[in-house]
A = this chain, B = another copy of it.
Amino acid sequence: MKINRLCIIGVGLIGGSLARSLKRAGACGEIVGFGRNSENLETAVRLGVIDRYEDDMAEAVKGVDIVVLAVPVGSMQKMFELLQPHVTEQMVITDVGSTKGSVIAAAQTVFGAIPANLVPGHPIAGTEKSGVEAALDDLYQDRRVILTPVEQTAPDALVAVRSMWEAAGAVVEEMGVEHHDEVLAATSHLPHVLAFALVDALAKLDEKAEVFRYAAGGFRDFTRIASSDPTMWTDICMANDKAIAHALQHFSATLQELSEAIANDDREKMFTIFQRAKVARDGFCEALNYAKE
């Protein structure tokens, strides 16, 4: 099922990589960009990521089969507002937000009900980089994309979005909205929160941040995600606050257990936790066919 015309709202790393992937697969006719930053959209055209861009939402979505909202979760509601007057029945709408409950709530607010042609989605891919210059035509290759259709979602719309992501190389799965938000809180949002907290805690230890001079490769890897965009992560934490709080609570219980083992020189307890973690980590790396290095 070829897409005749696609509109990407927010042509950054995620939206731009989707455009590149669909073009590479020959799965899409024209790709139109829309966004707040014309300079960025011009770059996207120059790089061949999109075919053209429009300053006006009405023009941007005219005659498109699918609209992809690839903006930070904090901007979804505003984009729904701009989009709302121009939505047609044939137009399928999807998004790439890292939290799904908040996007669905924003749609409900703007449209009065969850539109049948809205298919909430989330590609599990990306780096700490951002911007259309970093867009890749294989970012989604063999990566998972989670779709969280709701009761109201039209089966045809779901098929269209699934096909789009499969054409981009992704493995598509469906999941309940709440479950998605809990899983992502655990595997993505919580690690980011911990990395940010660790770096901030160490930076506060001394003014000159002398401690960082003695950091080795493990620390660099561990804290890489603390170089992520602060605005985006503020948005995500606002949008998924409850699931993140729940994940934090769960983590804190294990950390407390481990802290007590260290305080009590409880060698056996420490070893059990470290060993269990190593087995789990080595196991999931193997399962995901990731290089351990």
Interface residues of chain A, those whose CB is within 8 Å of chain B, are 124-128, 143-144, 146, 183-184, 186-188, 190-205, 209-231, 233-234, 237-238, 241, 244-245, 248, 250-255, 258-259, 261-263, 265, 267, 270-271, 273-278, 280-285, 287-288, 290, 292
Contact A186–B199 (Cβ < 8 Å): no
Q: Are A215 and B203 in contact (CB under 8 A)?
A: no
When distances are taken between beta carbons in the complex, the residues of chain B under 8 Å from A288 are 212-213, 215, 220
Cβ-defined contact, B278 with A230, below 8 A: yes
Q: How far is the CA of A218 from the CA of B285 in the complex (A)?
A: 13
Contact status of A194 and B194, CB under 8 A, knowing A144-B213, A222-B225? yes
Q: For the complex, what is the distance from the CA of A290 to the CA of B211, rounded to whole Å?
A: 16
Number of copies: 2
Chain B residues lying within 8 Å of A238, measured Cβ to Cβ, are: 265, 267, 270
The residue from B201, B221, B248 contacting A254, defined by CB atoms under 8 A apart: B201
**A203 touching B234 by the CB < 8 A rule?**
no
**A219 contacts which chain B residues (CB < 8 A)?**
187-188, 191
A278 partner residues in chain B, CB cutoff 8 A: 196, 199, 226-230
For residue A160, give the distance in angstroms from its CB to the closest CB of chain B: 23
Beyond A255-B194, A258-B193, A285-B220, is A277–B199 a contact (Cβ under 8 Å)? yes
Please give 8 more A-B residue pairs, beta carbons under 8 A apart, in addition to A191-B218, A191-B219, A237-B262: A124-B214, A128-B218, A146-B214, A196-B278, A197-B258, A209-B280, A230-B271, A241-B262
In the complex, the chain B residue whose C-beta lies closest to that of A244 is B262
Q: What chain B residues lie within 8 Å of A244 (beta carbons)?
A: 262
A272 vs B133: C-alpha distance when bound (angstroms)? 27
A103 to B159, CA, bound (A): 63
Check B127 against A276 for contact (C-beta < 8 Å): no
The residue of chain B having its C-beta at the shortest distance from the C-beta of A129 within the complex is B293
How long is the Cα–Cα vector from A285 to B234 in the complex, in angstroms? 23
Question: CB-CB < 8 A to A186: which residues of B?
Answer: 202, 205, 211
The answer to whether A265 and B241 have CB atoms under 8 Å apart is: yes
Residues of B contacting A229 with CB < 8 Å?
278
Q: Which of A187, A190, A211, A282 has the most CB of B within 10 A?
A: A187
In whole angstroms, what is the CA distance A215 to B125 when docked? 9
Also in contact, A255 and B221, with CB within 8 A (given A212-B187, A271-B234): no
With A124-B216, A278-B228, A288-B215 in contact, do A197 and B273 touch (Cβ < 8 Å)? yes
